[in-house]
Structure 1
Amino acid sequence: MANKDYNGILVFAEQKNGVIHKVSYELLNKGREMAKENDLPVYSVVLGSKNIDVNELIYRGADKVYYIEDYIFNQPKEILYKENLVKLINDIKPEIFLIGATSFGRSLAPRLAASLKTGLTADCTELKIDDDGKLIQIRPAFSDNILAHIKTDTYPQMATIRYKEFSEAERNTNLSGEIIKLDSIKIEDDLVKVIKEIGSKEIDISEAEVVVSGGRGLKSPDDFKMLEELAKLLGGMVGASRAVVDEGYISKEYQVGYSGNRVKPKLYIACGISGAPQHIAGMSESDTIVAINSDPSAQIFNIADIGIVGDLYDVVPRIIDKVKSKSLA
């Protein structure tokens, strides 16, 4: 049974340079859905300097926004964030606390769970509330061969949720809510010191509108150059199946699937990818899927809008030539 001492769903709104990460709006959408079914309030918390438009969190569905306003949160200091969030959580006692499974979220969440002496399920792909009011946290397990359904007895029930698993909450400026500004807790934290930011090398293929992915059909890491050429011509990025990432052909940032990135581009081109369930789960919601594979029985053809049975080393260069000729026309 749900613990009556705890109430509501709290969503952590991650921000960088005053810009709220879109995963926060996805979590508000899912939180709002669960709250409506179970008559719960939805809260959000954001830590950052004065230039954050926190009204946006109200427009996306938060009933209350807790705004811990201080320039000290401009740097990604997990210990500092943790101390401030622990105090807030102990004060308002949400029964569910959701964090985006970003690089920062994945680092912050376990520190919070340890301090709160509660459980944490990482990288969830779905959330539900059962008839007893307990949160069911669903995530892939055993090399993505099953979906584990997890419940915790401790509160708050915590989970990190991967980006692009849910749709963003629609923006509604007619919604109203309360913004509560709180004083920050300042602590000495010398574990992280940003000396100079020389440019971000963060790769995020989940935002790409075109993804050209390679799989086991590629013979060597250098063959990704061919896929990258096609991706650039189409204004997109390259992706990869888990198999070639495990082989060291390309870094994990480019991996598509349950254990990689969830992508929803306008166009997804799968080159030499058989179509394992783990990979399909990460790209099946693409608007148009083109599959290139020499094996006519490859599973990828079952979900493809356009299937090309052939050698990718013959097909991809021909597509590149066609795209180039159209660009020059």
Structure 2
Amino acid sequence: MPMSVHVRAAVAAAVTVSALTACGSSGTSSDTSAAPVKLREAVFFGDSLTDAGTYGIRFTTNPGMTWAQHVAERLGQSREPNEHTVSYSDVYQGKPGLSGPGGLNYAEGGARANSAYSTVSQNPEGTPISTAVQLQHFLNQHGSFNPDQLVTLYIGTNDVAYNYDPTKDPALAQALRDNHSPTPEVMAAERARVQKAAEDEAKTAAAILDKGAQHLLVFKLADLKVLPWFESDASRRYVSELTDVYNTHLVDSLPKDAKVQILDTGAFIDDLLKNAKTYGFTHGANEDACAQPGQDFCAAAAWKSPDADRTYVFAAAEHLTTHANELLADYVMKQVGIPDGH
């Protein structure tokens, strides 16, 4: 049965470790002796899908917010990113971000698990910083996590799709756009690259637990083949295979700990696409709310229709619309047991 925006009202008020591990957890512990701990705030690590506006824009149908901002708002905390840049043109140049506004959202558009996303610099402090570096920034500022903090880790899209970017592997990127599948040798190298990224994410997850996190929500990737950026059959097969490789290796590599909950993002996206009318969507897989293809974001004047932020699932090549972000926030809140009107 499709989840509606009203489902949060039925969620229990208190969050326990057993509630956190009830849905898709990799943890094996069944210890429920600990007293219930109500989640007070959230700390976010990730990429553009979580970014709260580090670069002055959000990777969606602007001025809409990302799912993480909605979660932050419902918890009564700042919706702002942790750092900022003077302009979007400063990103991917190896330039570090600027301090402030200091929110608990460390996600940055273009982030990878533990590598730079740049053709000119491998400076780990250059924006976008990886989730491994994001964690270091948090620890430098706060030292450790509190028991009543929800920590979210949503990364991997940029690692999976990295060589589809024409600035990274022009030959492979163009071949995929021309509907030519990679050779077995190329795919073997791509699988190994993606597996390494998944291992890096798992190491960051372990480091988060080591620093005191009691509630870590790790997002699996939804199958990237449904995103508008991937227009040819070959590109969709390529990215679908690598998504599966990433998810499989991530789940296998994550700490087997009851404090880890795995979010089935793919089930969420599948539900939106299969039950589109229930949610008010009239445009589904591989359809972009932005009028121009290949955008990172679009303001209202650049939407395909005045209601595109509500009627499309996807926007800006590989991101979610305002409405889809709202629904993802609902889904996250439901899965971790935070009630409506927290």
Do these two structures clear the TM 0.5 threshold for a shared fold by scoring above it?
no
TM-score by length of 1: 0.31
More strand by share: 1
TM-score by length of 2: 0.30
Q: Of the two, which has the highest radius of gyration?
A: 1
